[in-house]
Amino acid sequence: MEHQKDDNLHMLEAVVQNTEMGKNTLAQILPMTEDARFKAELIRQRSGYQELNQEAHAGLDACGGRAQGQSALAKMNTRVGIGIRTLTDRSTRNLAGMLSEGSSQGVMDCIKCQKDYPGAAPGTRRLMQRLQAFEEDNRQKLQQFL
């Protein structure tokens, strides 16, 4: 039983970290685009990340856990990386490519997490699977902007 609780906590924390990365990245990139269709897609994605993040926080609360989220170093690395990659090119194509790479990484992280924490409760696993499907959908939708 303790193993399942640990797996739940780890998996829920991974959902929190993944969704925070998505929210933080979109918060930085949204002001960079003038493209109305692209901006609408980014707002849709941000809403999805917020919803999944809230569900993960609720799950952590129910398990007696506490979200740690992204570390300050991870946040800084992301901000600097985006800053460097958009210094000379803020085109929709470049921004969509960066976000697509991030969603692909998110999918891989979801797959790894499900393998690392097989003892997580069914509801927690479903939340992770929803996040994975959301990341895959985001990547697909971003392709039209490449």
Residue with tokens 């699977």: 129
In this prediction the pTM is 0.93
CA-nearest of 103, 116, 104 to 49 is 103
The three-state secondary structure class of 145 is: helix
Give dist(CA 146, CA 141) in Å, integer.
Answer: 10
Confidence of residue 3 (pLDDT cuts 50, 70, 90): low
Nearest to 107 by CA among 47, 21, 28, 3: 21
User: What's the whole-number average pLDDT of the chain?
Assistant: 94
- Residue written as tokens 């479903």? 126
Nearby residues of 39 by Cβ (< 8 Å), 6 or more positions away: 30, 33
Q: Where are the alpha helices (DSSP H) in 30-144?
A: 36-63, 72-85, 92-116, 122-142
pLDDT in tens, 11-20: 999 999 999 9
CATH of the domain at 108: 1.20.1260.10
Residue-wise pLDDT tens digits, 57-100: 999 999 888 888 788 888 898 889 999 999 999 999 999 999 99
Q: Which domain holds residue 32?
A: 2-145
Tell me what the mean pLDDT of segment 111-123 comes to. Answer: 97
Please tell me the total count of domains within the chain.
1
